[in-house]
Amino acid sequence: MPGPPITNALTIDVEDYFQVSALAPYIPRDQWHLRECRVERNVERILLMLEEQQTRATFFTLGWIAERYPHLVRCIVDAGHELASHGYGHQRASELSEADFSADVGRAKKLLEDLSGQQVRGYRAPSFSIGEANLWAFDCLQEAGYCYSSSIYPIRHDHYGMPGAPRFAHRVRCGLLELPVTTARLFDRNWPASGGGYFRLLPYALSRWLLQKVNQLDGQPAIFYFHPWEIDAAQPRIAGISAKTRFRHYVNLRYTEGRLKRLLADFNWGRMDEVFLGADISAAVVRR
């Protein structure tokens, strides 16, 4: 007899289309404020979709966004979702000094806590940029008071990845867990199975099969992620970008929302703290 279905963790990295690391060479951060912001309406669509499916999730929110759209932060927590940190300025941890990384993660945590009135326990590094070369980042997260990180992708990729890292939850410092995004183990290597560009690229049935494999064969909860701009097929196109970046950013945007709705219906989903920290969120206030 199979046991009860596993609750997986649903996560959203709250940033806008012009803040994506792959586009950083084309859009200097001092010009971010000149771009049309679309994150607000996209997050509102996501909140509606989650409400319809009665699903709660974790929103790793960029400090830069929270500062400009404080009501978005309140909408997220008021709907019973977990507010977590994606850092302040979306700089890869691998490109920052220890001091600058500490300042970024501390600033984001304080800002999100001040805006929400809630403790922020989770952190996800931009572009999964914690790996073998900068494990000092965990010292900074521990010092800043985070309880978990979801910043390692145990795959080989040209921009990120730590293929030798444990695939599932593990303690990296006293009081600090690393919760790596999900990979499926096939043919003696790890394959991405947790969302992002791969979810848009692969047929939905394959994404679903990979997640089922993790739940059934590994017996572990999966961690899935997506971005608000991934449901926004009408976002402004950035001119002059490389063919590879264009493909990765724009492929199948128009299918993402429909696929997400199927994903929400096909699996049980919850917040990161609920799935991994055993947090009782039954008391989480849902205000209207």
Q: Give me the least distance between CB of 59 and Zn ion, in Å please.
A: 12
Query: Residue 268, Cα to own-chain centre: how many angstroms?
Result: 18
The answer to the question of residue 87 lying near Zn ion (CB under 5 A) is no
Q: Give me the least distance between CB of 229 and Zn ion, in Å please.
A: 10
Q: Dihedrals φ, ψ of 98, to 5°?
A: -60, -40
Q: Give me the least distance between CB of 62 and Zn ion, in Å please.
A: 7
The answer to the question of residue 104 lying near Zn ion (CB under 5 A) is no
Q: Give me the least distance between CB of 280 and Zn ion, in Å please.
A: 29
Question: Residue 155: how many CA atoms within 13 Å on its side-chain side?
Answer: 19
Strands 176-178, 122-123: pairing kind: unpaired
Q: Give me the least distance between CB of 129 and Zn ion, in Å please.
A: 9
The answer to the question of residue 195 lying near Zn ion (CB under 5 A) is no
One residue of 8, 9, 12, 13 binding Zn ion per CB under 5 A: 13
Return the residue matching tokens 């409400």: 51
The answer to the question of residue 197 lying near Zn ion (CB under 5 A) is no
The answer to the question of residue 63 lying near Zn ion (CB under 5 A) is no
Q: Give me the least distance between CB of 197 and Zn ion, in Å please.
A: 12
Which among 66-74, 120-128, 164-172, 266-274 is the span making contact with Zn ion, rule CB under 5 A?
120-128
Query: Residue 224, Cα to own-chain centre: how many angstroms?
Result: 8
Fill in the DSSP letter of residue 27. S
Helix axes 204-213 and 253-266, enclosed angle (nearest 10): 40
What's the CA dihedral at 139, 224, 127, 218 to 10 degrees? Answer: 60
The nearer residue to Zn ion, 127 or 190, going by C-beta atoms, is 127
Size of the site for Zn ion (CB under 5 A): 3
Strands 170-173, 122-123: pairing kind: unpaired
The answer to the question of residue 89 lying near Zn ion (CB under 5 A) is no
The answer to the question of residue 126 lying near Zn ion (CB under 5 A) is yes
Name the token pair of 112. 């999100």
Q: Give me the least distance between CB of 86 and Zn ion, in Å please.
A: 6
Q: Are 168 and 150 in contact (CB under 8 A)?
A: no
Name the token pair of 250. 């724009």
Which among 6-14, 164-172, 237-245, 267-275 is the span making contact with Zn ion, rule CB under 5 A?
6-14
The answer to the question of residue 228 lying near Zn ion (CB under 5 A) is no
The nearer residue to Zn ion, 17 or 138, going by C-beta atoms, is 17
Question: Residue 79: how many CA atoms within 13 Å on its side-chain side?
Answer: 25
- Binding site residues, Zn ion, CB under 5 A: 13, 15, 126
